Copies of this chain bind each other. A is one copy, B any other.
Amino acid sequence: MMGSHIDTVINAGIYDGCYGVLAGLSVIEALQQAGLEPVRPIAVVAYTNEEGARYTPDMMGSLVAAGGLSTELALATTGRDGTILGAELERIGYAGTQEPGFLKPQAYLELHIEQGPVLEAEGRSIGVVENLQGISWQRVTIGGVANHAGTTPMTLRHDAGVACARVISYLDEFAHATLGAVATVGSIEFKPNLINVIPSSASFTVDLRNATEDLLQAQERALASFLQTLREEGFTVQTESLARFQPVSFDPDLVLAIEAVAARKQLSCRRITSGAGHDAQMMARITAAAMIFVPSQKGISHNPAEYTAESDLIAGAEVLLELVRSLVSG
């Protein structure tokens, strides 16, 4: 089975998702034209709602296919626009009749643009995705004491904004010092958010990722420990878990097979970790799964500026073709 998704986000690019599905169709066409008689069926799948832009959670189609969410619950999901997923699938003619599990793939392969800058920066054509980062999302809210910016001496302050800044700097330093770690504070809010009032509250999101569960836990512990020191300084600190996924390792044999194909085709390749979520991580629950990345200019994705050179798109599809050919040849 080859696949990806064709849904997308608002103001998206043209590669993320569609590339993997269209490449899958092209592979089948090429194999048919070559007159190959496969020893087992070849399927292409376009999973519903990978992006989660209208209905949550994201990667919903592959989650259902992998048995992680019931079909009934998924179809009953209400979207941001108030529509029901099941009814919308009926309306557009995409509601199927088969139950999850009716296909039992021998392997799942997903071809995708990198969504990161690594392959382009190193001038490589192919990324052999060996694993996928675990993700830990939290919201942290630090409570201090609002007070007058002019009349409150530094030593009498409980400035929630300064405490927040210290957390951001610390997470950044810890991620720099931790193998394969990334840490991002992307969203922030001060209260009362006025120029001449010491912030009484700073609320911010923390996005920690690592391909190694132990190291991801180390990042989480470092954050918890830093927040504890803030509590001891008199701040209130609340944390809320927003999402937590363990890292996923792809099938080692498939990873080796992709590398071998790329080497035969004399394509420069490297093993790589996916920092983004993909349907392949869900499929890895029930079958051997792996992914092939091609470079994405400046790592831009989910943006009309998303761009991958034609030569890289073709190279990725050819690696997929050769891999599938070897898997379905007698």
Enumerate chain A interface residues (CB-CB to B < 8 A): 114-118, 121, 133, 135, 137, 147-156, 159, 161-162, 164-166, 168-169, 172, 175-176, 181-190, 192-199, 205, 207, 209, 242, 274-277, 299, 301
Contact = CB atoms under 8 A, between A and B. Distances in A.
Given A151-B299, A186-B192, A188-B190, 10 more contacts: A116-B150, A117-B152, A153-B182, A154-B176, A159-B184, A162-B168, A162-B185, A185-B199, A186-B194, A187-B195
Contact of A207 (B114, B196, B209, B274): B196
Contacts of A161: 168, 185-186, 188
Nearest to A180: B153
A150 B275 contact: yes
Contact residues of A: prevailing secondary structure:
mixed
Contact of A168 (B165, B195, B276): B165
Number of copies: 2
A77 B135 CA distance: 54
5 contacts: A118-B153, A149-B186, A154-B176, A165-B169, A186-B192
Contacts of A276: 148, 150-151
Contact of A116 (B151, B155, B242): B151
A80 to B, nearest CB: 15
Give 3 closest A-B pairs by Cβ, nearest first: A116-B151, A150-B275, A151-B275
B151 A274 contact: yes
A193 B165 CA distance: 15
Contacts of A154: 172, 175-176, 181-183
B182 A275 contact: no
Nearest to A176: B154
A271 to B, nearest CB: 14
Contact of A275 (B148, B162, B197): B148
A165 B187 CA distance: 13
